[in-house]
Amino acid sequence: MANTGHSAFPASSAHRLLACSGSYALGQAVDTGERRSTEFSAEGTLAHSVSEAALFAGSNPADLIGRTFHADGFEFTPDEDFSDNVQAYVDFVRGLMALGYIILLETRVSPMIHWSGLPPLGIDLFGTADCIAFHPQTGKLIIVDLKFGRGIAVEATGNPQLLYYAAGAFSRELLNYLLSQHGYAALPDGWTPSEIETIVVQPRAYHPDGPIRRASYSGQEVHDWARGPLYQGVERAINDNGTTFQPGEHCRFCPALPHCKAAEKFSLDAAKDAFKNVPAANVAVANGADPTSVPTNTDALAALPDTHISDKKLGELLDKLAIIKPYFAALETLAADRLRASSRPGMGWKLVPTRPRRVWADDEPKIVAALHNAGLAPGLYTETRLRSPAQTERLLGKKAFKALMDQLGLVTSTSGGVTLAPEGDPRTRVQQGRSAQEAFAPTLPSPNAD
Ligand code: SF4
C-alpha cells in the first residue's frame, strides 16, 4: 500500500478502532481527505513544534512569548502558561538526556515490524512518536508522549496509542540508526530491550498521579500485544465492513460521529431516557401534587425525595453523556460546515458573527507610543503582573525557590472546585459537605513539584 501522509489505522486512533470495528469503514467512507483541526488540537500541534524546536536548538519556549504563530489554520500568541507547560515536557526530555538516554524526536514508527509470519492485512500502520529515548548502557527503551489537553487526563497504563509507538520503536534497525548517530556499536541479533516504559507528559490536566504518568512492559509483552490484540483488532476492523458498531467514550474523536447511526441511536435513546426522568415532573406526581406545578427554587428541589430519579439511573445517564455530548457537538460542526459552504434554506439555520471583541488596531510599540504621546499615564494602558510560582521557580531555580518558600510560606496549592467523575476515576473522592479546597489542599503536590 502506498505510504500516504496518513495511516488508515494511526496510533492516535488505535483506541477507537480497536474498540469499534465499524468505525474503520465508516470513518473512511466519510473521509473527505481534509484534516479537520480544532483550536485545541491546533494548540497541541504548536506545542509539539515548539518543544521539538526547543530540544533541537537548546532554546526555551519562553523565548517565543508574545510572538505570533500559525498552526492548522489558527493563530496563537504563546503566553507564559503555554510556555511553562511546553517547558515541562522539554525539561522532562532533557532530564532523560542528562541520565544518558539518546533520543529521537517526532519519529515515524510502525508496529507492523512485529507481524512477520502473519498473513498480510493490506494496510499500512504508522504513527509519529513524540520522543523515543534509548539508554545504550542499560538497554531500556522509553516512549514519551506529550499531551497538551486540559480536559481528559490520559492514562499511561494499557494505552493502545503508546503501546503502538512502543511496538514501533522496539526496532533494532531504528535503534541501531540512533546508536550509530552517537558513536555506539550496533545491537546484536535477537536483542530485546531490558524494559520498555511508556510515559505520558500532560502538564495541563489534573491527575492524582501528577502530570507525568508511566507504564512499564517487557519487550515480550509489547511484541505479544502487537501480534495479538493489535493485529487481531486491525483484522477485525478491515473485515467488518462497517457492520459492528460499539458506541462508547471513544466516539468523542471519531470522524464518523455525526454520520454514525449507532451513535445517533445511542444518543437519542439516552436523551429519551433522560427526559423520561425529568426530576421536577416526576416529583410533582410522586408528591401527589398538580403535575403542572413544578417546584423551581433550589431548596424545594433539594428537599425532593431521591426516588424521582434513582442514583443508579442518574449514574447511567451521566455515563451516556460521554457519547451524547460529542454527538450533538458533531452535529453542530456538520451544520456549520454545510452552511459555510452554501446557504441551506431547508435547514432553517444560518451562520452569524460571534460577539465582536475590541482589539488594538496596530502593533504594540505603535499603540504604546501613540498613547504615550497622547499624554496617558503608562499605568492606564500597561500592567505589571505577578509571575506564577512555577515561573518564578524556573527563573530562580528549584533549590533556591524551595528554600525561599520553605522560609516564607508564600505558596499554597488549591483546587478551584469539584467536578463529576465516574467511580473508576483515580482521583480521591471529595467527602460529603467538604469543598475541594478543604478536601485536597493538604494533599495536593507542593508547588515546587509541578
Ligand atoms: S461514532 Fe462511535 S459507534 Fe459510531 S463509528 Fe464512531 S466509534 Fe463507532
Rounded distance between C-alpha atoms, residue 56 and residue 178, angstroms:
15
Indicate if ligand 1 lies below 6 Å from the C-beta of 162. no
Question: What separation in Å is there between the alpha carbon of 251 and the centre of ligand 1?
Answer: 5
330 pocket-lining for ligand 1 (C-beta < 6 Å):
no
Judged against a pLDDT cut of 70, whether residue 163 lies above it is answered with: yes
- Beta carbons of 178 and 123 less than 8 angstroms apart: no
How many angstroms separate the alpha carbon of residue 238 from the centre of ligand 1?
15
Find out whether the beta carbon of 146 lies less than 6 Å from any atom of ligand 1: no
pLDDT value for 306: 54
Residue type, 11: A
Report pLDDT for 444: 37
Nearest ligand 1 atom to the CA of 248 is: 2
User: Quick one: average pLDDT of 181-208?
Assistant: 95
Cβ–Cβ under 8 Å, residues 203 and 88 = yes
Phi, psi of 212 (to 5 degrees): -120, 120
Is the CB of residue 223 below 6 angstroms from any atom belonging to ligand 1?
no
Burial 204-222 (b: 16+ CB within 10 A, else e): beebeeebbbebebebeeb
> Which residues lie below 8 Å from residue 199, measured CB to CB, with a gap of 6+?
92, 142, 143, 144, 145, 156, 212, 213, 214, 215
Query: Which whole number is the average pLDDT over 349-367?
Result: 90
Handedness of CA 44, 45, 48, 53 (dihedral sign): negative
Residue 196 has pLDDT above 80, yes or no: yes
Pocket test for ligand 1, best of 13, 26, 264 (most atoms within 8 A of CB): 26
Please name the residue that has the C-alpha cell 446557504.
343
Long-range contacts of 415-424 (CB under 8 A, 24+ apart): 415/206, 415/439, 415/440, 415/441, 415/444, 420/318, 422/318, 422/319
Q: What is the pLDDT of residue 448?
A: 37
145 C-alpha to center of ligand 1: Å? 25
* CA atoms of 419 and 375, how far apart (whole Å): 48
- Which residue owns the Cα nearest ligand 1 atom 7? 251
pLDDT band at 171 (very low <50, low <70, confident <90, very high): very high
Residue 134 has pLDDT above 70, yes or no: yes
Residue 202, C-alpha cell as written in the block: 500532560
Taking the CA of residue 323 as reference, the ligand 1 atom at the shortest distance is 2
Residue 298 has pLDDT above 70, yes or no: no
Query: Can you give the pLDDT at residue 5?
Result: 65
How many percent of the chain have pLDDT more than 90?
53
Sorted by where each begins, the domain ranges of the chain are: 11-36+99-245, 257-326, 389-449
pLDDT band at 447 (very low <50, low <70, confident <90, very high): very low
Per-residue pLDDT tens digits for 49-62 = 999 999 999 888 98
Least-confidence region, from 99-113, 235-249, 285-299, 327-341 = 285-299
Cβ neighbourhood burial of 89 (10 Å; 0-12, 13-18, 19+): buried
Q: What is the largest CA-CA distance in the chain?
A: 84
Q: Is 262 in the pocket of ligand 1 (CB under 6 A)?
A: yes
Phi, psi of 263 (to 5 degrees): -70, -35
Ligand 1 binding pocket includes 250 (Cβ within 6 Å): yes
Of 376, 373, 402, 407, the C-alpha closest to 389 is 402
End-to-end CA distance of the chain: 45
* Per-residue pLDDT at 262: 94
Q: Is 260 in the pocket of ligand 1 (CB under 6 A)?
A: yes
Q: Of residues 209 and 236, which shows the higher confidence score?
A: 236
Alpha helix (H) residue ranges in 11-159 = 14-19, 22-29, 39-57, 80-98
CA–CA dist 359, 103 (Å, integer) = 43
Ligand 1 mean position to 298 CA, how many Å? 38
Pocket test for ligand 1, best of 12, 13, 15, 16 (most atoms within 8 A of CB): 16
Residue nearest to atom 3 of ligand 1 (CA): 247
Instruction: Give me the chain's average pLDDT, please.
Output: 86
What is the per-residue pLDDT for 37? 76
Atom of ligand 1 nearest to the CA of 19: 7
pLDDT digit string, tens, across residues 108-128: 999 999 999 999 999 999 999
Return the percentage of the chain with pLDDT > 70, whole number.
86
